[in-house]
C-alpha cells in the first residue's frame, strides 16, 4: 500500500430511514493515492458524501475496512479518530461552515490550536496560508463580513494549514459563482502541484471534473468508473 | 483561540437570551440572599433574646435539672464554675442564677410564676433582657436586700406599684414551703405577655438564704457566647474544661426546646423554598444551555470534523456554563446590593400586620424584617449558584460531545 493515503476495502454502509434500509455504499473498494487530485462524481444519492464521511472517519462502515495511512479506523477510539482528523485530514464543506464568532485568522488558526502548535509558529503559518489563499488584509474579518468566495478560501486555509495528508472537499464550488469557483480550483490545483497535497472532491460541477486528474464515478453506492487521466 | 475566549464569545451570540438568563440567576441570588439573610438575622436575634432571658446560650446545671427542674438540684461551687467558664474561648460572659417556681401575692391576689435570682452588680443589660426592658423604677441594687423587679402584667394582676410589697412563696432545697416579703423597686416590660405576667427578678443571696442554699450554690450558670453559631463548640469546650460528673452542660436547643423547634422548622421551610427557587432557576439555565447546544449542532459537527475531541467540546460547553454563572453572579451583585442595603439599614416594618408584641417560643420577635448575612452564607450562596449553573451545563456538554459528527453535519 505504498503511496496509499486512504484505502477502502469492501466497504458497505447501510442507513435506516424509518423502516427502510438504505444501502448508501455497497461493497466499495477504492484507494486514494498520495498526490491525487480526484473527483468523486455521480448522481444525487450515489453515495459521494457518504464515501467522504467514511474516509474522514466521520462515520463508520457497516461492513469492510478503511485504512488511513495504514491505520484501521475501526480499531481507533473516538478520540483517536478525532486526533487523526485533526492531524491528517482537511475538510472543505459546501457551505463553508466557518465558526461565526471567529475571525478569518482564528478560523484558520483553530486546528493548529487544537494541535497545540506554539503561538509564534501558529501566527506565522496562519499568515502565510491566508496570504497563499489570497486573504491578506482580511484576517480580522468575521465570516459574515466576507463574501462566499472569501469564506470558502478561509475554509480551504483551515483545511490545509496543518499540511494534512488528504483534503476531502464536499462540493466546494457549489455555493460560489463561476469566477470564484475557477479561482478556488486554481488555488487547490496549485497546492496539489506545489505541496503535493492530496485532494478528493465530491462534485456535480463539470469544471471540477474537467480539472480532476482522476475521475471516480459512483452509482447506487457502487464504483461505476475509476479513470486516471494523463 | 483559547477555550475561555471562545466560550465567552459563544455566550454573547444570543445577547438577549444570555441577559435574560443572567438576570434570572441574579434574581435567584437576590432571593437566596433575602431568605438566608432574614434567617441569619432573625434566628440570631431570637436565639440571643432567648439566651438573654435566663439560661444563656450554654447552661451548666445539675444533672437531671433540665428534665425535672427543682430547687433540690443545685450546682455546687457555682461561683468557681463561673470563673472557669469565663476563661473559655468564645464565652462573652457568664452569670450565676437561681431559677425556680413560686407563688406571688399582694394584698389582693395570688399568681403563680417564676423567679430569677441574680447578682445585680454582675448582670449586664447586654445579656439580661429584663434590665433592658425596665419601664419604671430601678434595677436591683444588691444581692442581699429585699428588692424585687417585676413585669408590667404581674404588677397589673397583683395591683402593685413601685414601693409596694410582694410576698413570694416557694419550696426550699429540702422541700419545705418558705415565704418572704420583698418591695417592688422596678418594673419591666419585654412585650411577651407570659414573661411580663409571671416572672420576677430577685437578689440571689437573699434567695439563697431563703431556700437553704449555701453561698456558692445556684441552679445554673448561664454562659453567653460571642457568636451563637458556635454555641455547640463552646459547649464542648466547657464540658471538656469542667469535666464534672454531677453537672450537665446544655445548649439553648436543649434548655429552650420550643424555640429550637420553631427555629428548626422555619429554617427547614426556608431551605425548601430556596431549593425550589434554585430548581426553577436551574431549569432556566439548563434550557438556555441545552438550546444553545442544540442550535449549534452543525457547528459542533464541523469542529469535530476538523479534529476537536468530544472532551474538548465538553470543556467548551462547561466553560460557557462557567461564564454564564459569572455573568449571573455579577447581575446578582448589582441587583442585590441596593436591596441588601435597604433591608440591612431600614428593613420592612410588619408592625401593622403582626403587632409589636409577637412572640414565638416565648421570645419576642422583631416586627421589622431586617437582613444580615454571615460570611459563610455569602460563600454558600455564591458557590451554590456557581455549582448549580455548572451542574445545569453537564448534560448539554455531554450531549454536544456525543452527537456523531455525521449527524451534526446533516443538521441545517
Write the pLDDT tens digit of every residue in A181-219: 888 888 889 889 988 889 999 998 899 999 999 999 999
Tell me whether residues B299 and A82 touch, CB distance under 8 A. Answer: no
In a domain? residue B283: yes
A86, B303: Cβ pair inside 8 Å?
no
CB contact under 8 A, B306 and A79: no
Which of A90, A99, A171 has the most B C-beta neighbours within 10 Å, making it the best mutation to test the interface with B? A99
pLDDT of residue A2: 46
Task: Please indicate whether, in this complex, the C-beta atoms of B409 and A106 are within 8 angstroms of each other.
Answer: no
Question: For the residues A107-130, what does the mean pLDDT come to?
Answer: 91
Judged against a pLDDT cut of 70, whether residue A52 lies above it is answered with yes
3-state DSSP assignment of residue B111: strand
Which H or E run includes A155?
Answer: helix A148-160
- SS3 state at B208: helix
HEC string of A3-57? CEEEEEEEEEEEEEECCEEEEEEEEEEEEEECCCEEEEECCCCCCHHHHHHHHCC
* Beta-carbon separation of A58 and B404 below 8 A: yes
Cβ within 8 Å, pair A78-B309: yes
- Asked whether residue B376 falls in the same domain as residue B338, the answer is yes
Q: Is A17 exposed, middle or buried (0-12, 13-18, 19+ CB in 10 A)?
A: exposed
pLDDT value of residue B125: 86
* Final residue of a structural domain among B218, B241, B270: B218
Residue B131 is part of which domain span? 70-218
Residue A32: CB atoms within 10 A of its CB come to 24
- The total number of structural domains that make up chain B: 2
Looking at the structure, do residues B76 and B122 belong to the same domain, yes or no? yes
Place A1 in a pLDDT band, splitting at 50, 70 and 90: very low
For residue B236, is it within any domain? no
Specify whether B17 is located in the same domain as B89: no
Listed as ranges, residues in chain B with pLDDT below 70 are: 1, 356-363, 411-412
B408 to chain A: closest CA residue: A58
User: Are residue B300 and residue B386 in the same domain, yes or no?
Assistant: yes
| Domains of chain A from N-terminus onward | 4-94+164-228 (3.40.50.300)
Kindly state whether residue B24 falls inside one of the protein's structural domains. yes
The burial of A122, by beta-carbon neighbours within 10 Å (0-12 exposed, 13-18 middle, 19 or more buried), is given as middle
Same domain, yes or no, for B112 and B197? yes
Residues on chain B touching A109 (C-beta within 8 angstroms): 1
Q: Which residues make beta-bridge pairs with B101? A: B114
**A93: pLDDT strictly greater than 50:** yes
B380 vs B384: CA distance, rounded Å: 6
Indicate whether B53 belongs to any domain.
Answer: no
Q: How many CB pairs under 8 A join A and B?
A: 69
Which of A79, A91, A101 is closest, CB to CB, to B306? A91
- Contact residues, chain A, for B302 at CB < 8 Å: 91, 93, 97, 99
pLDDT of residue B384: 87
Which one of A78, A88, A109, A154 makes the best mutation probe of the B interface by having the most chain B beta carbons within 10 Å? A78
Residue B291 lies in a domain: yes
Q: Mean of the per-residue pLDDT values for chain A?
A: 90
Residues B9 and B79 in one domain: no
Interchain pair B9, A97: CB under 8 A: no
**Taking CB atoms and an 8 Å limit, are A111 and B1 in contact across chains?**
no
Residues of A with CB under 8 A from a CB of B: 53, 56, 58-59, 78-79, 82-83, 85-87, 90-91, 93, 97, 99-102, 106, 109-111, 113-115, 158-159
- Tell me whether residues A78 and B308 touch, CB distance under 8 A: no
Are B146 and B11 found together in one domain? no
What is the spatial distance between Cα B43 and Cα A67, in angstroms, rounded to a whole number? 70
Out of B10, B311, B406, name the one closest to residue A101 (CB): B10
Determine the pLDDT at residue B11. 86
Statement to judge: residues B82 and B158 lie in one domain = yes
- Region A22-33: mean pLDDT is 93
Name the grid cell of B109: 391576689
Q: Which residues of A touch B299 (CB under 8 A)?
A: 97, 99-100
Partners of residue A93 in chain B, C-beta under 8 Å = 302, 409
CB contact under 8 A, A58 and B309: no
Region of B182 on the Ramachandran plot (φ > 0 left; ψ -120 to 50 alpha; else beta): beta
Report CA-CA distances (Å) from A110 to A57, A88, A90, A105, B293. 19, 15, 12, 9, 19
Among chain B residues, the shortest Cα distance to A51 is held by B406
Residues B101 and B172 in one domain: yes
Minimum Cα–Cα distance from B7: chain A residue:
A101
Q: What ipTM was predicted for this assembly?
A: 0.84
Q: Which residue of A has its CA nearest to B410?
A: A49
Contact B309 A85 (CB under 8 A): no
Residue B329 belongs to some domain of the structure: yes
- Record the pTM: 0.74
- Are B32 and B140 found together in one domain? no
Which residue in the set B299, B311, B312 is minimally distant from A99, CB to CB? B299
Measured distance CA(B306)–CA(A97) in Å, rounded: 11
The alpha-carbon gap from A222 to the nearest alpha carbon of chain B, in Å, equals 21
Specify the 3-state DSSP secondary structure of B145.
Answer: coil
Which residue from B minimizes the CA distance to A86? B307
Chain B residue numbers with beta carbons less than 8 Å from the beta carbon of A83 are 307, 309
Q: How many Å lie between the alpha carbon of A107 and the closest alpha carbon of chain B?
A: 9
Q: Is residue B212 part of a domain?
A: yes
Same domain, B21 and B127: no
**B382–chain A nearest CA distance, Å:** 30
Specify if B269 maps to a domain. Answer: yes
Q: Which of B185, B218, B251 is the last residue of a domain?
A: B218
| pLDDT of the residue at B342 | 95
pLDDT of res. B357: 67
Closest chain B C-alpha to A22 CA, distance in angstroms: 16
Kind of pairing, strands B91-105 and B165-171? antiparallel
DSSP label at A213? Answer: S
Distance from CA of B323 to the nearest CA of A (A): 16
Chain B residues with CB within 8 Å of chain A CB: 1-2, 6, 9-10, 13, 298-299, 301-312, 404-406, 409
pLDDT tier, A54 (very low <50, low <70, confident <90, very high otherwise)? very high
**Would the CA dihedral through A177, A178, A183, A184 be positive or negative?**
positive
A93 contacts B307? CB cut-off 8 A: no
**Residue at which a domain ends, from B186, B218, B250:** B218
Tell me: do B209 and B326 sit in the same domain. no
Amino acid at each position: 500500500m505504498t503511496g496509499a493515503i486512504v484505502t477502502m476495502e469492501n466497504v458497505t454502509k447501510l442507513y435506516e430511514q424509518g423502516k427502510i434500509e438504505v444501502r448508501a455504499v455497497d461493497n466499495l473498494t477504492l484507494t486514494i493515492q498520495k498526490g491525487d487530485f480526484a473527483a468523486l462524481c455521480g448522481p444525487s444519492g450515489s453515495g459521494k458524501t457518504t464515501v467522504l464521511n467514511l474516509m474522514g472517519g466521520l462515520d463508520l462502515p457497516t461492513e469492510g475496512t478503511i485504512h488511513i495511512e495504514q491505520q484501521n479506523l475501526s480499531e481507533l477510539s473516538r478520540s483517536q479518530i478525532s486526533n487523526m482528523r485533526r492531524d491528517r485530514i482537511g475538510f472543505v464543506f459546501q457551505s463553508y461552515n466557518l465558526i461565526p464568532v471567529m475571525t478569518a485568522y482564528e478560523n484558520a488558526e483553530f486546528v493548529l490550536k487544537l494541535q497545540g502548535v506554539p503561538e509564534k509558529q501558529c501566527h506565522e503559518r496562519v499568515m502565510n496560508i491566508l496570504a497563499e489563499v489570497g486573504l491578506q488584509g482580511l484576517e480580522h474579518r468575521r465570516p459574515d463580513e466576507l463574501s462566499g468566495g472569501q469564506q470558502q478560501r478561509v475554509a480551504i486555509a483551515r483545511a490545509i494549514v496543518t499540511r494534512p495528508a488528504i483534503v476531502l472537499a464536499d462540493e466546494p464550488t457549489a455555493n460560489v459563482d463561476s469566477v470564484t469557483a475557477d479561482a478556488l480550483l486554481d488555488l487547490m490545483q496549485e497546492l496539489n502541484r506545489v505541496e503535493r497535497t492530496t485532494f478528493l472532491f465530491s462534485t456535480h460541477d463539470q469544471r471540477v471534473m474537467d480539472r480532476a486528474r482522476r475521475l471516480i464515478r459512483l452509482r447506487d453506492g457502487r464504483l461505476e468508473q475509476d479513470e486516471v487521466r494523463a | 483561540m483559547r477555550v475561555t475566549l471562545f466560550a465567552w464569545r459563544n455566550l454573547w451570540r444570543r445577547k438577549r437570551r444570555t441577559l435574560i438568563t443572567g438576570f434570572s440567576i441574579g434574581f435567584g441570588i437576590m432571593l437566596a440572599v433575602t431568605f438566608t439573610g432574614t434567617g441569619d438575622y432573625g434566628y440570631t436575634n431570637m436565639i440571643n433574646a432567648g439566651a438573654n432571658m435566663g439560661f444563656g446560650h450554654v447552661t451548666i446545671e445539675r444533672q437531671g435539672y433540665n428534665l425535672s427542674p427543682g430547687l433540690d438540684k443545685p450546682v455546687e461551687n457555682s461561683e468557681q464554675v463561673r470563673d472557669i467558664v469565663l476563661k473559655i474561648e468564645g464565652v462573652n460572659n457568664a452569670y450565676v442564677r437561681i431559677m425556680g417556681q413560686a407563688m406571688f401575692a399582694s394584698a389582693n391576689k395570688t399568681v403563680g410564676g417564676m423567679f430569677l435570682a441574680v447578682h445585680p452588680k454582675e448582670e449586664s443589660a447586654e445579656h439580661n433582657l429584663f434590665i433592658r426592658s425596665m419601664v419604671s423604677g430601678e434595677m436591683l441594687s444588691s444581692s442581699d436586700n429585699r428588692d424585687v423587679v417585676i413585669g408590667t402584667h404581674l404588677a397589673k394582676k397583683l395591683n402593685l406599684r413601685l414601693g409596694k410589697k410582694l410576698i413570694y412563696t416557694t419550696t426550699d432545697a429540702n422541700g419545705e414551703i418558705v415565704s418572704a416579703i420583698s418591695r417592688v423597686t422596678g418594673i419591666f416590660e419585654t412585650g411577651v405577655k407570659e414573661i411580663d405576667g409571671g416572672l420576677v427578678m430577685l437578689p440571689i443571696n437573699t434567695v439563697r438564704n431563703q431556700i437553704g442554699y449555701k453561698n456558692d450554690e445556684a441552679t445554673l450558670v448561664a454562659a453567653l457566647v460571642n457568636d451563637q453559631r458556635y454555641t455547640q463548640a463552646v459547649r464542648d469546650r466547657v464540658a471538656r474544661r469542667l469535666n464534672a460528673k454531677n453537672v450537665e452542660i446544655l445548649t439553648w436547643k436543649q434548655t429552650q426546646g420550643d424555640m429550637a423547634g420553631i427555629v428548626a422548622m422555619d429554617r427547614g421551610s426556608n431551605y425548601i423554598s430556596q431549593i425550589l427557587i434554585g430548581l426553577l432557576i436551574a431549569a432556566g439555565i439548563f434550557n438556555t444551555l441545552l438550546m444553545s447546544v442544540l442550535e449549534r449542532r452543525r457547528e459542533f459537527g464541523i469542529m469535530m470534523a476538523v479534529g476537536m475531541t468530544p472532551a474538548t467540546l465538553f470543556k467548551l460547553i462547561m466553560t460557557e456554563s462557567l461564564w454564564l454563572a459569572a455573568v449571573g453572579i455579577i447581575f446578582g451583585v448589582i441587583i442585590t446590593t441596593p436591596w441588601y442595603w435597604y433591608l440591612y439599614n431600614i428593613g420592612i416594618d410588619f408592625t401593622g400586620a403582626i403587632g409589636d408584641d409577637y412572640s414565638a417560643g416565648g421570645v419576642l420577635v422583631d416586627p421589622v424584617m431586617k437582613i444580615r448575612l454571615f460570611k459563610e452564607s455569602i460563600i454558600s450562596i455564591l458557590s451554590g449558584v456557581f455549582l448549580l449553573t455548572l451542574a445545569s451545563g453537564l448534560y448539554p456538554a455531554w450531549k454536544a460531545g456525543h452527537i456523531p459528527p455525521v449527524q451534526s453535519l446533516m443538521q441545517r
